Amino acid sequence: MIPVTGYDGQRVAVLGLGRSGLSAGRALRAGGAHVLAWDDNPEARDMAAEEGFEIKDLSRDGAFDDIACLIVSPGIPHLYPQPNKAVANALQAGVPVDNDIGLFFASLGGADWAVHDVAPRVVAVTGSNGKSTTSALIHHVLHEAGKDVQLAGNIGRGVLDIDPPGDGGVVVLELSSYQTELARALTPDVAVFTNLSPDHLDRHAGLGGYFAAKRRLFAEGGPDRAVIGIDEPEGLFMAGQLATAPGDDRVIRISVERKLAGPGWSVFARKGFLSEYRKGKQQGAIDLRDIKGLPGQHNHQNACAAYAACRSLGLSPKVIERAFHSFAGLPHRSQVIAEKDGVTFVNDSKATNVDSALKALNAFANIRWICGGLQKEGGLAGLEPGLRNVLKAYVIGRDAAQFALQLTGTEAETCTTMQTAVARAMADAQPGETVLLAPAAASFDQYDNFEKRGEDFIAQVRARL
């Protein structure tokens, strides 16, 4: 645990008692704070009460008298589309609002770090797609290199649940826009921006607000090194803002769309080959084509980002390449779950938006595509470049028929349930084809989360093998 400093003897409120909220409450208490907790869910309140936290309805008038700070869990809106009543009360009372990420950065380190020969470092990864795989890949490479490394944040453990890092230790954090937007302290040593595509637009009042939330990690975080994907205008703009000159190697630009030249530091992948250039000279290269845990261009982008982050931490290209080959990938992200009679079955349930689904469609050929669910804003037009790889779509979800109508020019069958979709796709599949779950939609119309959806796909496939 990382005890939270700065609130010894003070009353601190925690709103939202899921994993991050309870973790924050425990860390605050370990640092000497008196914690008041609230969640709209009575069961969550009961669990917090059993741990000894004082339960207080923070939505009531006067709830923030004599409270030093409000800690808000990621899923609770603080501004758009409208602030939660408790957050509004805190702001009206002039009470600072923070989250567990802000507490982590404000509390990490201290006098005890003076004994370290090599100070611990934090690598923080954000972006629209690929941040989980990139974070896990960085963690894997560092672990395989024998480093003391921990993975936390939006993946793995809560940031305040980890152990205080030891001499030369590295903490790898995956951070969502919900987390970067609110954190009052953001001070990573290495910050990574994978890419940007429309997502969570209601929460951030549009694409500009969404990008601004991501940008805070770099503009306010002031990392020693920034790894920036520049295949979208926003990333290209931010790299230009952070660099003080063309040769400023504090910014490492990455791309999977073009070769990067110039006097700076860059990492790019073309036709399955990763290349690193610095000061106009090639420093390293990796053939990514046979690395099973990193299929497709989207994973090559993840590889570029992870490679750049690990190089900035001093690892050699050969050490990174060896670790890439032993990376198994993450569940529900281009996860090959079975191969039989020449048919490959791939679970990419994490492809919850059009951009991530398009990347999955472009990673495979001859696809029997299982898609559908709770559709997000913007429609499905962005999928068109990947539909050339689709033999037939098998559409699930409560609105499967309406979803199928948008797949113009692609044969689509309305299946509604995962069971029916898997059965029909497997019956149609021929050797050399891929049955791919890449929904291009959220899961909440039928499942609690994308993990449950992916698990159902896996279960339905394995039941028929």
User: 258 with 230: CB under 8 angstroms?
Assistant: no
Q: How far apart are CA 196 and CA 119, in angstroms?
A: 32
For the chain, which domains are there? Answer: 11-98 (3.40.50.720), 113-325 (3.40.1190.10), 335-464 (3.90.190.20)
Mean predicted lDDT score pLDDT of the chain: 94
Looking at the predicted structure, is the pLDDT value of residue 355 above 90? no
User: pLDDT tens digits for 94-144?
Assistant: 999 999 999 999 999 866 777 888 889 999 999 998 999 999 999 999 999
Among residues 378, 16, 440, 380, which one has the least CA distance to residue 202? 378
The predicted pLDDT at position 113 comes to: 76
Write down the pLDDT at residue 111.
60
Nearest CA among 363, 372, 376 for reference residue 410: 372
Q: Which residue shows structure tokens 């809106």? A: 77
pLDDT tens per residue, range 191-238: 999 999 887 888 999 999 999 999 999 998 899 999 999 999 999 999
Q: What is the pLDDT of residue 339?
A: 93
What average pLDDT does the segment 32-39 reach? 97
pLDDT of residue 137: 97
Residues facing residue 345 across a β-bridge: 338, 435
Residue 31's pLDDT band (cuts 50, 70, 90): very high
pLDDT class of 40 with cuts at 50, 70, 90 = very high
Q: Which residues participate in the annotated binding site for ATP?
A: 127-133
Question: For residue 448, what pLDDT is reported?
Answer: 92
* pLDDT at residue number 189: 97
Segment 387-412 shows an average pLDDT of 95
Spatial CB neighbours of 361, under 8 Å, sequence gap ≥ 6 = 367, 369, 383, 386, 387, 389, 390, 436, 438
Helical packing angle, 131-144 and 317-325, nearest 10°:
110
Say what the pLDDT of residue 246 is. Answer: 93
Over residues 336-360, mean pLDDT: 93
Q: Which amino acid is at 294?
A: L
Q: Which residues pair with 275 in a beta bridge?
A: 268, 285
Q: What is the mean pLDDT of residues 56-75?
A: 95
Summarised one tens digit per residue, pLDDT across range 144-187 is: 999 999 999 988 789 999 999 999 999 999 999 999 999 999 99
Q: Cβ contacts of residue 435 below 8 Å, gap of 6+? A: 343, 344, 345, 346, 367, 368, 370, 422, 425, 426, 429, 461
Cis amide prior to 331 (ω within 30 degrees): no
Mean pLDDT over 318-324 rounds to: 97
Dump pLDDT digits (tens) for 375-384: 887 789 999 9
Q: Which residues are annotated as a binding site?
A: 127-133
**What pLDDT is recorded for position 394?**
98
